């Protein structure tokens, strides 16, 4: 019963009480009178009954009036206040109560409004803090991402299920060399966010390493790191160091391992170097032993049996001559062949010659204060140097030239010479003899008061190099020539590939830490937590069973609700048949673009690997799937992944729209189209469209893979097409 | 006495000296250039001592040694292994496979002669 009802009841009650009171009073008064009095009073009262009635009705009306006034003053206002306060709490925190009522309520209203102010500013404060904290976390993540991408070591971070949640560019390049078809996905079928590390390393090896880390953690104190070396399919040797990622927990709890960091090192080349060195040692020792045996036996026989025939003597001398010659030859060969292996093992870095020279110029101008010039530097010449000590050496030479021979200017020349390079410091004026240079070489290097513990000789030895002074009489100039090792510019390619990643792409996703493979079957997983491969194909025509073939596959991945454009798969395919010239108008691919491309038998295995453990998404998927499935017998690869079709999903979401073409859907959902009708361009548009569809499907109560498949099957289009 | 010595080595330059030395010691000398020839000659003539090089074409000295030791009728043949492989593991392998002595190249001719004489029990 509402307040009004209660008041109405009270009013009725009060009126009834009044009437009852009057009636009781009348009865009591009546009984008290004697019979004659009763007779006497009737004529007095009766004519005034109207007056009494008016008095009674008036009283009842008065009670009603008072009750109504009370209701208006003290019952209605709290009800209204209550409503407004509720509005403030639940809907609109900016609402303030405006109240024109009795003064008793004013303080309450003021207090409520003050609380609302306070609450609002607190809320804003909290929101501000959250925004700041989020920004800080994001910035830290980005900083970590940046750091990782600049590292020259390969780093991969995985959760306990072996899913990759961070990797850097170097790791990506490394896996590219491990891939069977390096051009298509750039190793992307092996490495990618959410992919399984077990595609690369054996599960047992990883779990063994994890076990040993965990046992070390339990023992505490010791460093919880595990190492192993493994070979890859391509025969490369990879050294792996594993360190645990620990969860932060309260003080006295044991820290749990939630994932691990893998640092990878391709030691194939080191190993080859070691092997070469071993081989060299062996050929030197064993080869020499055999020759020496021949010589020693011959010499000892000669001296022990002086009585032998001249012919025999000649043949023994012949043995000695042959073997000595063979040994000399072997030594020469070894030195040439193993020159690199024989060099000092000081770690040298590869450096562009120009950079080395300009660094030397700056340093000499700053420290010695004389002019420098470049006479000639061969373009693109790389040298292998310990740049710090070599620059010290060059500066030291310039300083001594300046202080002892008053040289005011030095010039540089850097030229290739086989596997070596000539670095010349040139000046004009005094000739400096080899004794002087020798003396300079042996002293510890001092420049501008700074003394190095090294001598110039040490520097040259580090480089396995030599130094001498030389003179060109005709040109009136003298120079010191430093012989230093040059480097193959092979590494340069690597460096370029390294720089190519213009923006720092989506190489990490720490939300994957929370993933657990075992938690759901694929069908019951939410769309938001599945990994998708969105793909598109370009073909020679529309009839797969009539001999039309795939000429291009483009694909990209969606992990954790994000489209990973940097983890794409893009490959032209040689269809091994003629391309109808008019088809080029659609996809822009011409016959000569396809020449030399791998055929479908080579591309499908890489694409299959790229799709592993994911749900396939395509627009009008039936068409593309047909092409893939027709190849199943030939390649033995089954594309039996779950498939979602954006065409059908569009029909689920907008059943009343006429067009479900990709362009039309993209326009409806506000996706900007770039580069359509390349396989990759279409795959990206499809992926973006699909991402926009997920929340729309959710509104219709379609959340899991099973639900979305069932919904798609029910659409009109599905019934027509399949 | 006419003790027979078989020299097995593919390098003629060492064979010259070995042949000369063994003849001067008064032994009857024959020479084999590879492992298979060595096995043939051992069967034919059953030498008293064999100077056996390890690194040879066709069959290595180790294999030759093993096959000779597998044949009881040849148990009297003394085997001196000569090799450029100087590592202790290789010495151990040679002796385990049944060689009576193991000499690492380059060796002293005096030591070799002394070794052969000792094996034949000539003082």
Q: Is residue B122 part of a domain?
A: no
Q: How far apart are CA A19 and CA A57, in angstroms?
A: 10
How confident is the prediction for chain A on average, in pLDDT?
A: 82
DSSP string for A130-182: HHHHHHHHHHHHHHHHHHHHH-SSEEEEEETT-BEEEE-HHHHHHHHHHSSSH
- Residue A296 to residue B82, Cβ atoms within 8 A: no
Domain total for chain B?
1
The CATH number of the domain where B67 resides is what? 3.40.50.2300
* Contacting residues for A363 by C-beta, under 8 A, at least 6 apart: A391, A394, A395
- For residue B106, the distance in angstroms to the closest alpha carbon of chain A comes to 4
Tell which of A297, A308, A318 to mutate to test the B interface (max B CBs under 10 Å). Answer: A297
- Chain B environment of A301 (Cβ under 8 Å): 17, 20-21, 109
Q: What pLDDT was estimated at residue A413?
A: 94
- Burial, A435: exposed, middle or buried (Cβ in 10 Å; 0-12, 13-18, 19+)? exposed
Q: Is residue B119 part of a domain?
A: no
Share above pLDDT 70 across residues of chain B, in percent, rounded to a whole number: 97
Is A221's pLDDT higher than 90? no
- Decide which of A200 and B46 is more confident: B46
- Residue A305 to residue B110, Cβ atoms within 8 A: no
Which of A687, A699, A547 lies closest to A616, judged by CA? A687
Is A44's pLDDT higher than 80? yes
- Residue A305 to residue B18, Cβ atoms within 8 A: no
- Residue B84 to residue A296, Cβ atoms within 8 A: no
User: End-to-end alpha-carbon separation of chain A, Å?
Assistant: 62
- Chain A environment of B11 (Cβ under 8 Å): 290, 294
Q: What pLDDT was estimated at residue B117?
A: 92
Closest chain B residue to the Cα of A287, Cα to Cα: B84
Is A126's pLDDT higher than 90? yes
Distance of CA B78 to the CA centre of its chain: 8
Tell which of B9, B12, B20 to mutate to test the A interface (max A CBs under 10 Å). Answer: B20
Is A582's pLDDT higher than 80? no
Average pLDDT of the segment spanning A348-361: 85
Range(s) of the domain holding residue B51: 4-114
Q: A49-70 vs A3-32: helix axis angle to the nearest 10? A: 150
- Residue B17 to residue A316, Cβ atoms within 8 A: yes
Q: What pLDDT was estimated at residue A721?
A: 45
- Chain A environment of B110 (Cβ under 8 Å): 300, 304
- Residue A296 to residue B106, Cβ atoms within 8 A: yes
pLDDT band at A718 (very low <50, low <70, confident <90, very high): low
**Distance (Å) of CA A61 to CA A11, A68, A71, A437, A600:** 10, 11, 15, 129, 99
Fold of domain A349-488: Heat Shock Protein 90 (3.30.565)
**Tens digits of per-residue pLDDT, A686-702?**
999 999 999 889 888 88
Average pLDDT of the segment spanning A634-643: 85
Give the best-scoring range by mean pLDDT among A206-220, A584-598, B93-107. Answer: B93-107
Which sequence positions of A are flagged as catalytic?
A: 677
Q: Tokens for A505, please give them.
A: 């792409």
Q: Is residue B120 part of a domain?
A: no
> Measured between CB atoms, which of A290, A304, A316 is closest to B11?
A290
Residues of chain A with a CB closer than 8 angstroms to some CB in chain B: 285-287, 289-290, 292-298, 300-301, 304-305, 308, 312, 315-316, 319, 322-323
- Chain B environment of A285 (Cβ under 8 Å): 84, 86
Q: What pLDDT was estimated at residue A503?
A: 39
- Decide which of A70 and A142 is more confident: A70
Is A500's pLDDT higher than 50? no
Average pLDDT of the segment spanning A474-486: 85
Is A301's pLDDT higher than 60? yes
Average pLDDT of the segment spanning A663-679: 80
Share above pLDDT 90 across residues of chain A, in percent, rounded to a whole number: 15
- Chain B environment of A294 (Cβ under 8 Å): 11, 13-14, 17, 106
- Chain B environment of A286 (Cβ under 8 Å): 55, 84-86
Judged by average pLDDT, the poorest of A117-121, A347-351, A363-367 is: A347-351
What is the torsional sign of CA A392, A397, A398, A399? positive
- For residue B92, the distance in angstroms to the closest alpha carbon of chain A comes to 17
Q: Is residue B49 part of a domain?
A: yes
Q: What pLDDT was estimated at residue A722?
A: 40
Is A345's pLDDT higher than 70? no
Beta carbons within 10 angstroms of residue A302's beta carbon: 18
Superfamily of the domain at A520-721: Ribonuclease H-like superfamily/Ribonuclease H (3.30.420.10)
Q: Does residue A292 contact residue A300 with C-beta atoms inside 8 Å? A: no
- Residue B16 to residue A316, Cβ atoms within 8 A: yes
Q: Is residue B68 part of a domain?
A: yes
Please give the ipTM for the structure prediction: 0.77
pLDDT band at A519 (very low <50, low <70, confident <90, very high): very low
Q: Is residue B87 part of a domain?
A: yes
Q: Does residue A510 contact residue A166 with C-beta atoms inside 8 Å? A: yes
Catalogue the E-assigned strands of A31-168. 154-159, 164-167
Is A538's pLDDT higher than 50? yes
Domain chopping of chain A, boundaries? 3-90, 271-342, 349-488, 520-721
- Residue A301 to residue B108, Cβ atoms within 8 A: no
Query: Is B91 in CB contact (< 8 Å) with chain A?
Result: no
- Residue A294 to residue B84, Cβ atoms within 8 A: no
- Residue B84 to residue A312, Cβ atoms within 8 A: no
Query: Is B93 in CB contact (< 8 Å) with chain A?
Result: no
Which of B38, B24, B119, B25 lies closest to B79, judged by CA? B119
Is A507's pLDDT higher than 90? no
Is A184's pLDDT higher than 60? no
Q: What pLDDT was estimated at residue A397?
A: 93
Q: How far apart are CA A184 and CA A598, in angstroms?
A: 10
Q: Is residue B121 part of a domain?
A: no
Average pLDDT of the segment spanning B77-99: 83
Is B30's pLDDT higher than 50? yes
Query: Is B118 in CB contact (< 8 Å) with chain A?
Result: no
Q: Is residue B35 part of a domain?
A: yes
């Amino acid at each position: 019963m509402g307040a009004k009802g209660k008041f109405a009841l009270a009013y009725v009650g009060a009126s009834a009480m009044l009437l009852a009171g009057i009636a009781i009073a009348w009865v009591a008064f009546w009984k008290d009178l004697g019979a004659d009095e009763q007779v006497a009073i009737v004529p007095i009262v009766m004519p005034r009954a109207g007056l009494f009635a008016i008095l009674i009705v008036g009283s009842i009306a008065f009670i009603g009036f008072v009750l109504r006034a009370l209701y208006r003053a003290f019952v209605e206002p709290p009800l209204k206040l209550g409503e407004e306060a509720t509005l403030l709490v639940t809907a609109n925190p900016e609402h303030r109560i405006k109240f024109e009522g009795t003064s008793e309520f004013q303080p309450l209203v003021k207090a409520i409004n003050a609380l609302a102010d306070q609450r609002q500013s607190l809320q804003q404060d909290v929101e501000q803090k959250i925004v700041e904290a989020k920004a800080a976390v994001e910035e830290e993540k980005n900083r970590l991402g940046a750091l990782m991408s600049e590292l020259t070591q390969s780093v991969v971070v995985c959760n306990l299920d072996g899913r990759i949640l961070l990797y850097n560019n170097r790791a990506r390049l490394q896996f590219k060399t491990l891939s069977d078809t390096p051009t298509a996905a750039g190793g992307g079928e092996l490495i990618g966010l959410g992919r399984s590390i077990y595609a690369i390393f054996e599960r047992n090896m990883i779990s063994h390493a994890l076990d040993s880390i965990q046992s070390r953690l339990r023992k505490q104190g010791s460093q919880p790191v595990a190492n192993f070396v493994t070979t890859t399919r391509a025969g490369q040797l990879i050294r792996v160091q594993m360190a645990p990622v620990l969860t932060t927990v309260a003080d006295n709890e044991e820290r749990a391992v939630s994932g691990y960091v893998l640092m990878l090192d391709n030691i194939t080349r080191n190993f080859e170097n070691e092997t070469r060195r071993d081989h060299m040692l062996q050929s030197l020792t064993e080869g020499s032993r055999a020759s020496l045996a021949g010589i020693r036996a011959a010499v000892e026989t000669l001296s022990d049996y002086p009585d032998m025939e001249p012919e025999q003597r000649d043949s023994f001398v012949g043995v000695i001559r042959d073997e000595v010659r063979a040994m000399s030859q072997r030594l020469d060969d070894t030195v040439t062949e193993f020159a690199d292996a024989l060099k000092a093992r000081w770690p040298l870095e590869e450096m562009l010659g120009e950079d080395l020279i300009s660094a030397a110029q700056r340093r000499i101008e700053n420290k010695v204060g004389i002019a420098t010039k470049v006479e000639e530097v061969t373009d693109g010449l790389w040298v292998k140097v310990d740049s710090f000590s070599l620059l010290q050496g060059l500066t030291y030479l310039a300083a001594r030239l300046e202080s002892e021979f008053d040289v005011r200017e030095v010039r540089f020349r850097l030229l290739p010479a086989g596997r070596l390079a000539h670095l010349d410091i040139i000046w004009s004026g005094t000739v400096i003899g080899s004794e002087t240079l020798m003396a300079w070489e042996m002293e510890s290097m001092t420049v501008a008061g700074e003394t190095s513990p090294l001598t110039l000789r040490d520097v040259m030895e580090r480089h396995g190099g030599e130094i001498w002074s030389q003179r060109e009489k005709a040109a009136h100039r003298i120079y010191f020539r430093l012989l230093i090792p040059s480097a193959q510019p092979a590494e340069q390619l690597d460096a370029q590939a390294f720089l190519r990643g213009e923006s720092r792409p989506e190489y990490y996703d720490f939300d994957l830490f929370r993933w657990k493979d075992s938690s759901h079957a694929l069908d019951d997983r939410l769309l938001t937590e599945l990994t998708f491969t969105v793909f598109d194909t370009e073909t020679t025509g529309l009839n797969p069973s009539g001999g039309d073939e795939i000429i291009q596959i483009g694909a990209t991945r969606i992990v954790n609700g994000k489209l990973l454009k940097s983890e794409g798969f893009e490959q032209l395919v040689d269809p091994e048949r003629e391309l109808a010239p008019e088809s080029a108008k659609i996809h822009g691919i011409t016959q000569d673009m396809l020449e030399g491309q791998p055929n479908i038998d080579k591309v499908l295995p890489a694409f299959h690997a790229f799709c592993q453990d994911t749900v396939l998404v395509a627009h009008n998927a039936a068409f593309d799937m047909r092409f893939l499935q027709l190849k199943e017998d030939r390649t033995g690869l089954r594309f039996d992944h779950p498939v979602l079709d954006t065409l059908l999903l569009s029909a689920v979401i907008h059943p009343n729209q006429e067009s479900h073409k990709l362009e039309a859907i993209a326009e409806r959902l506000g996706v900007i189209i770039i580069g359509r009708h390349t396989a990759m361009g279409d795959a990206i548009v499809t992926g973006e469209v699909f991402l926009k569809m997920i929340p729309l499907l959710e509104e219709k109560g379609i959340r899991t893979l099973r639900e979305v498949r069932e919904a798609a099957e029910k659409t009109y289009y599905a019934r027509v097409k399949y | 006495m006419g003790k027979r010595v078989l020299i097995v080595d593919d390098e003629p330059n060492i064979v010259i000296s070995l042949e000369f030395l063994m003849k001067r010691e008064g032994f009857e000398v024959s020479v084999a250039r590879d492992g298979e020839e060595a096995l043939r000659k051992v069967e034919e003539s059953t030498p008293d001592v064999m100077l056996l090089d390890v690194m040879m074409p066709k069959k290595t000295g180790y294999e030759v040694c093993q096959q000779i030791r597998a044949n009881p009728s040849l148990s009297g043949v003394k085997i001196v292994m000569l090799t450029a492989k100087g590592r202790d593991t290789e010495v151990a392998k040679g002796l385990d496979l049944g060689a009576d002595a193991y000499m690492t190249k380059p060796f002293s001719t005096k030591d070799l002669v002394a070794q052969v004489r000792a094996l034949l029990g000539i003082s």
